[in-house]
Structure 1
């Protein structure tokens, strides 16, 4: 009987994929959820029976779904985050969970830098004004000699630091477990969180949330430099959106750019409609290079587990 693999990431269900085709050549049957959409719990419940492996995206995975996946041996995330997977329940069900670390770092880092420069130069604001027939100009800032705060200095944060320094910026970085040996060439310094908030012209987030508590709340915003920009390509839960909206309305926050949302697609809230907000459709890792790289690693991670399981069964 042909073993089945479930594929749910939107980037992989939207169009044919060379890396996935290799799985079919190896004899696996691929089961895909609705093309280009985040699958609902009901769709997952209908899809998981009989699958031995699952290449998973950012869709929430419930205990109920795992209980319905009686043959499942491995969930391989095509990304680094695992907050959508009930890890304790997976462990009880003896389902191994793997993730990809750093495979999309360049893509996300380039988007973060793009959003920083867009916000500093008011590109989106000017674009929208022109389309309305207005000749609206806001004085911008160049990134050279500015201070960029990087909160979370794993693979993505390190890549952001290198690019920012290459563009002539200074980088101040905070990480709860800093790699003290890390020192990108140029103006890079480790600082505590309050110092990063106070010194930065733009702050970019590259860390997971802790206990669903907002890292950037009214307290943190009050400690930021007047007119600073805030960039979030990590997790929506890192930011208190009401506090950000208040800071934008008061003019203390110069701009907010986000690629992540609680719900996708999001509702058009007052925050997202704000003229100083830039919003992108979770495109950080949605590049040809990142999709291919992460998919290859996710497939290799999954196949490693399936081969181990097969060997233990036959031995």
Structure 2
């Protein structure tokens, strides 16, 4: 029986019924330790002999690809592939498949939730009440502010529609300039730097930069309006953590909300512990709806790739 490796945390901890399509097709499923990102050593142990891989966001090194002696296809349960060594996979003839747009609503809704949590200081208020206090912290509204988006794929466009309905102006940067359907004032920025200079709230919805340098560095943070808010539900590599910490300490940034870290979980005492940071544990796509949709599409993609040849 041929084997398929299944590594997304949402699938290894609580395998959903959609995975049954693989077993019904005659494949044996192989899982890492449940509920956490597998490291290189664990992947090196698991991947030999597997013909297919339903992959998450875990980093995949060229060493792991070299050990994948029978691998024919990797199917992501999402759209990002910057955790994969694409050139090495292409050289080996291993197909890379993506589940396009499956978690866009979940990530967009979390982005809005984080935005409101920072603006209304919800975590600090909740913590104070649970500690027996009665904090009444003055917040801010989305309405009347300018929300800047860097990246306008399915997630960014959904965020733009919601904040527009809430009464915000929108400024966005995306080199492809996809069509927008929003109700309020909207402007395209000439470059990403203009978004940081013009917006009160900046939210990131783009892949990591090709050269690996942070998109959000001291220079861009220095251009932001004092007290602005930064939201990151995209990639940890997009920000310079030291620069963000400095901006928070100085008040240049009024708050930073993030769903992504490097490493995950973050180290104790790091940026996540800052009092002006609202942190979640990479749960943007972790909704019942997103997991079911992404798994179904990823499984279908993998079956189409693998079953073009007879299953042993």
1:242 aligns with 2:242: yes
- The question of whether the paired residues in 1 share the 8 Å contact of 2:21 and 2:299 is answered with no
CA distance in 2, matches of 1:219, 1:243: 9
Secondary structure of 1:160's partner?
Answer: helix
Match of 1:189 in 2: 187
In the alignment, which residue of structure 2 is the partner of 1:277? 277
2: distance between equivalents of 1:274 and 1:245? 8
Q: Deviations over 1:134-189 (max 9, x none)?
A: 4333211111222111110011101111111122222111112222x334333222
How many pairs does the alignment contain?
309
2:42 pairs with 1:54: no
Any conservation in 2 of the 1:151–1:207 contact (CA below 8 Å)?
yes
Distance in 2, Cα, partners of 1:138 & 1:268: 27
- Which residue of structure 2 aligns with residue 141 of structure 1? 140
Matched position secondary structure for 1:225: coil
SS at match of 1:293: helix
CA contact (8 A) 1:125 1:276 kept: no
Give the drift of 1:27: 1.8
Tell me the residue number matched to 2:255: 255
1:38-75 Cα shifts (integer Å, max 9, x gaps) = 11212111211221110001111111211221111000
Range moving further from structure 2, 136-145 or 101-110: 136-145
Give the TM-score normalised by structure 1. 0.94
Please name the residue that 1:10 is paired with.
9
1:287-298 map, 5 Å:
287-298=287-298
In structure 2, what is the Cα distance between the partners aligned to 1:22 and 1:76? 14
- When the two chains are superposed, the root-mean-square deviation of aligned CA atoms in Å is 1.5
Query: Which sits farther off after the overlay, 24-33 or 111-120?
Result: 24-33
**Match of 1:54, SS?**
strand
Report the counterpart of residue 96 of structure 1 in structure 2: 95
The answer for the alignment partner of 1:76 in structure 2 is: 75
Q: SS in structure 2 opposite 1:76?
A: strand
| 2:26 pairs with 1:27 | yes
Deviation string 1:74-132 (CA, Å, 9 cap, x unpaired) is 00111111111111111111111111221100000000010011111111121222233
Matched residue SS, 2:101:
coil
Q: Which moved more, 1:186-195 or 1:297-306?
A: 186-195
Structure 1 contact 227–254 (Cα < 8 Å) conserved: yes
User: What SS does the corresponding residue of 1:53 show, helix, strand or coil?
Assistant: strand
Aligned residue for 1:5, secondary structure, equals strand
Q: TM-score, normalised by structure 2?
A: 0.95
Q: What is the aligned partner in structure 1 of residue 226 from structure 2?
A: 226
Cα distance in 1, alignment partners of residues 290 and 67 from structure 2: 31
Cross-structure match for 1:114 = 113
Q: Write the deviation string for residues 195-232 of structure 1: whole angstroms up to 9, x where unpaired.
A: 32122121100001211111111111111111110000
Single out whichever of 103-112 and 20-29 deviates more from structure 2.
20-29
Counterpart secondary structure, 2:159: helix
**Matched-pair contact (CA < 8 Å) for 2:257–2:278:** yes
Q: Counterparts of 1:286 and 1:34 in 2: how far apart (Å)?
A: 18
Structure 1: where are the runs of 5+ without partners? none
Name stretches of at least 5 consecutive residues in structure 2 with no aligned partner. Answer: none
